[in-house]
Amino acid sequence: MTQRLHLVFGGELVDPARNVFKDVSEIHMVGMFPDYKSAFDAWKTWAQKTVDNAHMRYYIAHIHRLRDEEAAASATEELGE
């Protein structure tokens, strides 16, 4: 069974019109989730908690898309990392 990992994270942006974090060291890592539904639920919870701050944004990163399970090696493995 293929895992569909999703990372939920967020933080304060420099400008609400751009996806640039004000302070990368202050990014809130909500967590890693095994499916989109649970990631969406976590994203929604944190997005709603910070709705009054126009500079706060939370995102869902589709971690499973970073690795091609059919390929012999991922891009990171090819770099020797």
Assign residue 16 the CATH number of its domain: 3.30.70.2400
Q: Over its length of 81 residues, how does the chain's per-residue pLDDT go in tens digits?
A: 667 899 999 999 999 999 999 999 999 999 999 999 999 999 999 999 999 999 999 999 999 887 666 665 555 555 444
Question: Could you tell me if 8 and 46 are in contact, meaning their C-beta atoms sit under 8 angstroms apart?
Answer: yes
Q: What is the count of structural domains for the chain?
A: 1
81 within domain boundaries: no
80 within domain boundaries: no
1 within domain boundaries: no
Q: How many CB atoms lie within 10 A of CB 3?
A: 11
Structural domain containing residue 20: 6-75
